[in-house]
Amino acid sequence: MRIIDIREAKRRLSKLVDEAARGESFVIAKDGEPLVEVSAFAATPSGRVERLGFMAGHFQTPDDFDRMGAGDRAALRLALAKLSASRRRKSRCHA
């Protein structure tokens, strides 16, 4: 694989990107030490990256997903209501 010094890469960035897009990968180095490998981004044939549905088939959403934790939420609302009422009573006593 071709190694390009970072200073040269800065000067020729546009041409190097075009080359990488055509499949000509290369390495950018600084002071002789490789820093990064540049290669074409693997896109779908249409040129767009497909993201929607990329996890299809890897997990299932439960049928009761929208009702999950309903009892816990109700208990939390009740506890918060009791706490709020308790605080209101205490503030009236100290006023």
- Mean pLDDT in order along the chain per 10 residues (95 residues): 94 94 93 93 63 80 84 91 87 70
**What domains appear along the chain, each with residue ranges and CATH number?**
1-43 (3.40.1620.10)
Query: CB of 46 within 8 A of CB of 21?
Result: no
Residue 9 confidence (pLDDT): 96
The pLDDT value given to residue 92: 76
- Cα–Cα dist 28/13, whole Å: 11
